Amino acid sequence: MIKKKNLYYPLDEIKKRAWANNPQIYREAAKNPVKFWEKLAKELFWFKSWKKGFLHKAPYFKWFLGGKINITSNIFEKNILGFEKIKNKVALIWEPESLEEKPTILTYGNLFRKVNKLANALLKLGVRKGDRVGIYLPMIPEVIISMLACARIGAVHSVVFSAFSSQALKVRMEDTKAKVLITSDGYYRKGKIINLKQKADQGIKGTNVKKVVVVNRAGNKVGMKKRRDFWWKDLTEKENDWSRPKVMDSEDLLFILYTSGSTGRPKGCEHVTGGYAVQAYWTGKWIFDLKEDDVFWSTADIGWVTGHTYSCYAPLLNGATFLIFEGAPNWPFPDRWAKIIEKYGVTTFYTAPTAIRMFEKLSKSLLKKYSFNTLQILGSVGEPIDETSWLWYFNEIGKGKLPLVDTWWQTETGGVLITSLPGMGPFKPAFTGLPFPGVKIDILDEKGKSLPAGKQGALVILPPFSPGLLRGVYKNPKKYLKTYWTEYSKKVYFTSDTAYKNKQGLLRIVGRVDDVIKVAGHRLTTGELENIITAIPNIAESAVVGKPDKIKGEVPVAFVVLKKPKSQKKVKKEVNSQVLQGIGPIALIKEVFIVRDLPKTRSGKIMRRILKRLFTGEALGDLSTLANPESVEVIKKQLKNSL
Ligand code: PRX
């Protein structure tokens, strides 16, 4: 990379290779974003072209109105590279956790057959266009096949992270009213078999789920309920290997993905077929510069939006080869991720700052074993990346030569909206970069006034937004309006992030202003955790805040007020067993502080901000507005003693 005034620009060879290397793209997009996205959309295969590019009836909007499309046709028979060209090409590499087990390698042709077979099996189970199908699967090829099979027949998939608890599954299944769930007997995590079927059985109790498709992954013993549960193999084996793609309207739902909500009930983000396909395809192409001989590895689990877009749809739409893996990147040995990069000649590596910080801890001598010379692009996502980790990733893994795309986006946006492009840059440590061409963003003060460079404010997205942005919160229009479209106006999408830009217009994301905390890049809300904790009978009140953590970015810690005294150790155990049941291991509370009183405003609102500042060292601010300012002093002393 070429360094000019603290900014990095790509070398000529990278520029030349890149799909997007002409700054004219930005100018063209800014002039008429709708026309620009329409031009991009034309590269995909549509059964019928759209009549109107964009329609805005705030807070609702639509893209490619009247267009007819199926995302799987764009992946397979009408892939941009041509089916003949890709049918024998590797689509998916699956690396199992066990070193003894062989990887699975599926060509586009193989994958297509498997998708069709499952699609036909789902049709036989009675799944029709618009029906919701729950997918509760670990990182195995069947999770990709399941999503695509749903998309093939127009069913709406709703993937639930496999490490989520049965309770979390239940809440989601209740909301979607899915009649079919696809799950597995179990899976491997750090050498242990996790019995997923048992969790699934509990999670679907009392829901609408009538049929369960079970993948035989781990061979653990599971109960199979007659006429409800079917082994994947039995259902699909004899099925026809072609299934007609359902002609979908551009605005028909493709999937619902839940993200943490402030009231404890997660929000179902609605993503629609046409707009999402366009955004997944083009962000994959321009940001990761996907080429025919690339091996793309996004380490995100499919249960999160990064998994949906960049461990499935974007590489497939681009006809690329991508990798998914079972287990953890640092198990059974800490450099497993580096070994995988080397084994498969990974060209694009996309991961979260938490993982980068974890890798940074490895000894130099261990990392010296790897040349990383197949890598061409590095990516980061999910949480702010600090300057030290950015530079470590850039210098040690990228050898100072590779573009490092720090991509900002959300479950709601469906695809990346802010990052500098690899063929143009510029890149700056800890800055995420420029808005993607065709995306209009702004930074506003409290009154909605646009702020100049250097000033921090709310990050918002302006019309025409982007084709992939969510169209609603499933069955909850009020929440949609309140969460995203009320802070400024019905025409301004509020991201809940604060940010600022530098003189070159590069954006730096500071963090969330709502009650979302990012734990190892995973999104949780403090309200959701508090609901779970206060369900414990002996806990009168609780406040959860994100405490800064060197590796995970933030970890949740809880302040609790007890009804009857109990030891801290016992309370922590109780709290975490409740959290495990309610969400799963990712949300485990790191520390529990028993306090007498929580700081509150006169209207009774718990001031989490103050509690958080006790950890960050920021000034506590004016405490005189509190109903009980003395509570802060007491907690402060308590923390001093315990830390
Ligand atoms: O706060 C921002 C942070 O993650 C939030 C969205 O979380 P989620 O819906 O789980 O999606 C994560 C993966 C796309 C954002 O509101 N975030 C995401 N990417 C970045 C980021 N913060 C800083 N830098 C990023 N690159």
Number of domains the chain contains: 2
* CA pair distance 509, 458, nearest whole angstrom: 10
What DSSP state is assigned to residue 418?
Answer: B
E strand or H helix that includes residue 69: strand 68-69
CA of 628 to the centre of ligand 1 (A): 35
Residue 417 forms part of a structural domain:
yes
pLDDT at residue 443, as a whole number: 98
432 and 549 part of one domain = no
Q: Where are the alpha helices (DSSP H) in 163-319?
A: 166-176, 196-204, 232-236, 273-287, 305-308, 314-317
464 and 543 part of one domain = no
What confidence tens digit (pLDDT) does each residue in 54-91 have? 999 999 999 999 999 999 999 999 999 999 999 999 99
61 and 200 part of one domain = yes
Which of 287, 313, 409 has the most ligand 1 atoms within 8 A of CB, as the residue to mutate?
A: 409
pLDDT at residue 182, as a whole number: 98
Is the N-terminal amide bond of 23 cis, ω within 30° of 0?
no
E strand or H helix that includes residue 105: strand 104-107
Q: From 443, 476, 495, give the residue that closes a domain.
A: 495
Residue nearest to atom 13 of ligand 1 (CA): 382
Q: Which two tokens stand for residue 224?
A: 């199979």
Provide the CA 427 distance to its chain's centre, in angstroms.
23
CA of 24 to the centre of ligand 1 (A): 28
575 and 482 part of one domain = no
Residue 10 forms part of a structural domain:
yes
What confidence tens digit (pLDDT) does each residue in 411-454 have? 999 999 999 999 999 999 999 999 999 999 999 999 999 999 99
pLDDT at residue 603, as a whole number: 86
* CA pair distance 339, 343, nearest whole angstrom: 6
CATH of the domain at 473: 3.40.50.12780
- Ligand 1 atom with the shortest distance to the CA of 516: 1
CA of 28 to the centre of ligand 1 (A): 27
- Ligand 1 atom with the shortest distance to the CA of 406: 26
Is the N-terminal amide bond of 403 cis, ω within 30° of 0?
no
CA dihedral 446, 452, 457, 462 (to 10 degrees): 80
CA of 383 to the centre of ligand 1 (A): 5
pLDDT at residue 150, as a whole number: 99
CA of 409 to the centre of ligand 1 (A): 5
Per the structure, the complete domain to which residue 616 belongs is given by 535-642
E strand or H helix that includes residue 296: strand 295-298
Name the nearest CA neighbour of 287 among 192, 191, 406, 401: 406
CA of 219 to the centre of ligand 1 (A): 36
User: For 358-386, what is the HEC assignment?
Assistant: HHHCCCHHHHCCCCCCCCCEEEEECCCCC
Q: Which two tokens stand for residue 93?
A: 């590499």
Which of 380, 498, 523, 552 has the most ligand 1 atoms within 8 A of CB, as the residue to mutate?
A: 523
Query: DSSP labels for 126-195?
Result: T--TT-EEEEE--SSHHHHHHHHHHHHHTPEEEE--TTS-HHHHHHHHHHHT-SEEEEESEEEETTEEEE
Q: From 433, 466, 495, give the residue that closes a domain.
A: 495
Residue nearest to atom 11 of ligand 1 (CA): 410
Q: pTM value?
A: 0.96
CA of 152 to the centre of ligand 1 (A): 29
- Ligand 1 atom with the shortest distance to the CA of 496: 16
284 and 333 part of one domain = yes
Burial 253-262, CB ≥16 within 10 A → b, else e: bbbbbbbbbb
543 and 479 part of one domain = no
pLDDT at residue 621, as a whole number: 85
CA of 382 to the centre of ligand 1 (A): 4
Q: Which residue has the tokens 């995590």?
A: 189
9 and 106 part of one domain = yes
pLDDT at residue 433, as a whole number: 97
CA of 410 to the centre of ligand 1 (A): 5
Q: Coil, strand or helix: which one is 598?
A: coil
Which residues lie across from 323 on neighbouring strands?
93, 297
Which of 354, 483, 518, 552 has the most ligand 1 atoms within 8 A of CB, as the residue to mutate?
A: 518
Residue nearest to atom 15 of ligand 1 (CA): 410
- Ligand 1 atom with the shortest distance to the CA of 411: 9
- Ligand 1 atom with the shortest distance to the CA of 495: 16
* CA pair distance 118, 240, nearest whole angstrom: 9
469 and 558 part of one domain = no
List of the chain residues with pLDDT < 70 = 262-264, 643
327 and 435 part of one domain = yes
What DSSP state is assigned to residue 443?
Answer: E
Pocket-forming residues, ligand 1, beta carbon under 6 Å = 259, 305-306, 381-384, 406-411, 432, 495-497, 509, 512, 518, 523
- Ligand 1 atom with the shortest distance to the CA of 509: 23
CA of 497 to the centre of ligand 1 (A): 9
CA of 62 to the centre of ligand 1 (A): 24
Which residues lie across from 379 on neighbouring strands?
350, 405
Residue 520 forms part of a structural domain:
no
Q: Is 31 left (phi over 0), alpha (psi -120 to 50) or beta?
A: alpha
252 and 398 part of one domain = yes
CA of 509 to the centre of ligand 1 (A): 9
Residue nearest to atom 8 of ligand 1 (CA): 410
Residue 321 forms part of a structural domain:
yes
329 and 448 part of one domain = yes
Q: Is 447 exposed, middle or buried (0-12, 13-18, 19+ CB in 10 A)?
A: exposed
Compute how many other C-beta atoms are within 10 angstroms of the C-beta atom of residue 49.
14
- Ligand 1 atom with the shortest distance to the CA of 385: 24
Contact 136, 302 (CB under 8 A): no
Q: Which two tokens stand for residue 476?
A: 């909850």
CATH of the domain at 635: 3.30.300.30
353 and 421 part of one domain = yes
Residue 529 forms part of a structural domain:
no
Residue 506 forms part of a structural domain:
no
Residue 507 forms part of a structural domain:
no
Q: If you count them, how many residues does the chain have?
A: 643
pLDDT at residue 264, as a whole number: 67
- Ligand 1 atom with the shortest distance to the CA of 412: 9
Name the nearest CA neighbour of 371 among 333, 350, 401: 401
CA of 370 to the centre of ligand 1 (A): 30
Q: What are the backbone angles phi and psi of residue 583, rounded to the nearest 5°?
A: -125, -60
Q: Which two tokens stand for residue 202?
A: 């509990």
Residue nearest to atom 5 of ligand 1 (CA): 410
Q: What are the backbone angles phi and psi of residue 443, rounded to the nearest 5°?
A: -120, 125
- Ligand 1 atom with the shortest distance to the CA of 300: 13
Residue nearest to atom 7 of ligand 1 (CA): 410
Contact 597, 633 (CB under 8 A): no
Residue 524 forms part of a structural domain:
no
Q: From 469, 495, 521, give the residue that closes a domain.
A: 495
